[in-house]
Amino acid sequence: MLVTGCDISSTTTIVSTESEQYLRTLLALPDHMPIPAIPEFNPLTQEKITLGRFLFYDTQLSANQTQSCASCHFQIDAFSDALETPTGSTGHVLARNSQGLSNVAYNASFTWSNDTFLELEDQLNVPIRADDPIELGVTDSELATVLSRFETDEQYQQMFQAAFPGSDTGVSMNKIIFALASFVRTMVSANSAYDDYVVGDKSALTDQQKQGFSLFNGEKFECFHCHTGINFTVSYRDENSSSDSLLFPFFNNGLYNVNNDGSYPETDQGLFDLSSDPADKGKFRPPSLRNIGLTAPYMHDGSIGTLREVVEHYARGGTLTPSGINEGDGKNNPYKSALITGFTATDEEIDAVVAFLESLNDYDFINNEKFSNPHQGN
């Protein structure tokens, strides 16, 4: 909780103890999880969460009515989609892997690599409105048609009214986005074997997983430098984070070295595509590792198939692409983080780290009715 008074530059909400309990209940947050930062302009309410859940699963939200958010974010895959990269509603193959949405509310920035999307409300414009590449395809020319689908539906009329009381009765893209962001913020995963261990059940992890946990947090494997804290990423914030202490970390972890000049494949060079600064080539946000055993394939382009191969990538100090247009050794990428130098690990140690990572799987999360498709007949 922020107790130091009004920091008007902060984007976090200043909450009273009473509203703290209210948020814990709405988010079904166990005691060991901090309260995420909820922006003041979009306070969390049950009515917005409910509306957001209906919208998340509704194909009427795409211009041609073929896709919904859930077409790329499946609950069974911890809201990723088991593909290297997905295809949008009109057939564009996207460059990036669909991200899992576990504990998304705690991320300091959004998407694989963007230091300007600091609120979910900013980011959600992309899947809905973008025209290159098209995801849901609600471009300017399609907007009125899509909004009218919800405006003329009686059940939606009631839900929009309940979610946005006191505003005009119309449906707007802002209301849709605010409701979706509210629903996505409730996707809290905090009931894995690892969580049981953290709250005191020392038998919740096997001996192998405990060995893996200490290797993960040790100076040989170095994982914890970038994947740390309750959400296993340094890209983190909660209601206590002040705007000047927030980190927006992005790293090159040695996945590619095209032309031996530090480049990544032309389709996606990470932060460099926004900044044009060569030092930003291949820089991506360290993802949360929550439910990581359920979100294969891995990395921003889905290019690594299994967790074992991910750990081998780090042990090698980068990935070798032996031939083809992306030929090169990521190990020698000049922009690679100094924390990724490679190390010698036995098969047993690698298995232990993989077993630990799998202890972050939360089967309650992927079976929780609150996150499931609410539409009848589905």
Within positions 236 to 265, which residues make up the interface with ligand HEC, using CB under 6 A? 251, 253, 255
Burial class of residue 133 in the structure, from the number of CB atoms within 10 Å of its CB (0-12 exposed, 13-18 middle, 19+ buried): middle
DSSP character string of 18-56: HHHHHHHHHHT--TTSPPPP--TTS---HHHHHHHHHHH
Residue count at the site for ligand HEC (CB under 6 A)?
53
Residue number with CB closer to ligand HEC (21 or 237): 237
DSSP character string of 55-80: HHT-GGGSTTSS--GGGT-BGGGTTB
* Nearest distance in Å: CB 256, ligand HEC: 8
For residues 52 and 29, what is the distance between their CA atoms, to the nearest angstrom? 19
Residue number with CB closer to ligand HEC (225 or 370): 225
Q: Is 49 in the site for ligand HEC (CB under 6 A)?
A: no
Q: What SS3 class is residue 349?
A: helix
Q: In the stretch 181-220, what mask flags binding to ligand HEC with x, by CB under 6 A? A: ---x------------------------------------
Q: Is 359 in the site for ligand HEC (CB under 6 A)?
A: no
**CB-CB neighbours of 246 under 10 Å:** 17
Residue 308 structure tokens: 């074992």
* Closest to 195 (Cα-Cα) out of 359, 364, 10, 28: 359
Q: Is 38 in the site for ligand HEC (CB under 6 A)?
A: no
CA angle 146, 94, 76 (to 5 degrees): 80
Among the listed ranges 27-35, 118-126, 151-159, 358-366, the one in contact with ligand HEC (CB under 6 A) is: 118-126
Q: In the stretch 3-22, what mask flags binding to ligand HEC with x, by CB under 6 A? A: --------------------
Q: Do residues 355 and 208 make contact, with C-beta atoms less than 8 angstroms apart?
A: yes
* Nearest distance in Å: CB 276, ligand HEC: 18
Residue ranges that bind ligand HEC, judged by CB under 6 A: 56, 67, 69, 71-73, 86, 88, 94, 96, 98-99, 101, 104, 107, 110-112, 120, 123-124, 127-128, 135-136, 180, 184, 221-223, 225-227, 251, 253, 255, 284, 286-287, 289, 292, 295, 298-300, 307, 310-311, 314, 337, 339-340, 353
